[in-house]
Amino acid sequence: MRNKGLAMPYVAWMAIFVVAPLILVLIYAFHNGSSFTLENFRAMGTYAAVFGRSFLLAAIATLICILIGYPVAWFLAREGPGLRRIATIVIMLPMWMNFLLQTYSWMSILENTGLLNTLFQKIGLIALVNGLFGTDFTYFPMINTRGAIVLGMVYNYLPFMILPIFTVIEKIDPRLIEAAQDLGASSAVVFRRLIFPLSVPGILSGVTMVFVPSVATFAISRLLGGGMVTLLGDLIETQFLGGSYNPYLGSAISLVMMAIVLISMAVMNRFGEGEEEAMLL
């Protein structure tokens, strides 16, 4: 039973397939194919706008996920056990289909001749807006905008915000709440002084699970941004598989992105003093 040897194959596996690849990224970032250099990082200035845009869009998506996800998790935790169980399954179910299938579906919803625009036309919304503001839209441009990308991020990662918050709130001992109420706390005070502070680990865990994939996405921006909006993920992807093949620069961009993400996570965790880990499921 107490056998450390059982872990050895996996330790070797991690050394080869987790640690070594990251060391390679580190080496490549400081290399140009023939010698060690810093030129990859000097080139980074050109991409400052892409960095800014990626982090901004990801931050907006994360914020929207909190604003929707927190109330949803909180209301859900107050439902009966049967409904709670069904609701968790219902939230997880879309994750079982590949996210690209759903992102593709959003394309048909948001297109210029897509479902939403057809609906807006049918109910006269487009004519109304044109009449009110003197514009002449034949459709509302929704696809290939930054808004569409943020929508795609929110849609794909919202469950990753709801579930950890829900798990944490659900675990709060109801006797704590009763005790607070017995001592005369109103619902607002119970929420502000008790439930919210106790649910912070869930929020932090949700933020990590939404923000990190949002910063690095390239499929969502390619499908819903139509290649008009370049994000960090697109930039890295083109360095490795796309037209401008340069794995050295790609590694450097990945490294800087990773560093910024790690630093912001560390700051956030310090700020939230999130000792406890709230895991998905």
Between residue 112 and residue 131, which ones bind other proteins under the rule CB under 8 A? 113-115, 118
CA 77/CA 281 separation, integer angstroms: 14
Smaller CB separation from other proteins, 2 or 135: 2
Smaller CB separation from other proteins, 216 or 229: 216
Specify the stretch interacting with other proteins by CB under 8 A; choose among 32-40, 140-148, 209-217, 268-276: 209-217
Q: How far is the CB of 60 from other proteins (least distance, A)?
A: 17
Smaller CB separation from other proteins, 87 or 129: 87
- As given in the structure block, the two tokens for residue 132 are 């009110």
Q: How far is the CB of 200 from other proteins (least distance, A)?
A: 18
- As given in the structure block, the two tokens for residue 36 are 């060690």
139 binds other proteins (CB under 8 A): no
Judged by CB under 8 A, which of 49, 104, 228, 271 binds other proteins? 104
Q: How far is the CB of 142 from other proteins (least distance, A)?
A: 13
13 binds other proteins (CB under 8 A): yes
Nearest-5° Cα angle at 127, 124 to 133: 135
96 binds other proteins (CB under 8 A): yes
> Do residues 220 and 152 make contact, with C-beta atoms less than 8 angstroms apart?
yes
Q: Of residues 52-91, which lie at the interface with other proteins (CB under 8 A)?
A: 68, 71-72, 75-79, 87, 89-91
107 binds other proteins (CB under 8 A): yes
202 binds other proteins (CB under 8 A): no
Specify the stretch interacting with other proteins by CB under 8 A; choose among 1-9, 39-47, 122-130, 131-139: 1-9
Smaller CB separation from other proteins, 16 or 132: 16
Query: Based on C-alpha coordinates, what's the Rg of the chain?
Result: 23
Q: Of residues 253-272, which lie at the interface with other proteins (CB under 8 A)?
A: 254, 257-258, 261, 265
Site string for other proteins, 146-185 (x = CB under 8 A): ---------x--xx--x-----------x--x--------
- 59, 212, 265, 271 from 200: Cα distances, Å: 18, 18, 14, 11
Q: How far is the CB of 227 from other proteins (least distance, A)?
A: 9
CA 268/CA 9 separation, integer angstroms: 35
Size of the site for other proteins (CB under 8 A): 89
CA 190/CA 182 separation, integer angstroms: 11
Q: Which residues touch 235 (CB under 8 Å, ≥6 apart)? A: 47, 50, 250, 253
CA 237/CA 243 separation, integer angstroms: 9
Chain-centroid distance, C-alpha 71: 18
Smaller CB separation from other proteins, 32 or 132: 32
Q: How far is the CB of 16 from other proteins (least distance, A)?
A: 8
> Do residues 159 and 94 make contact, with C-beta atoms less than 8 angstroms apart?
yes
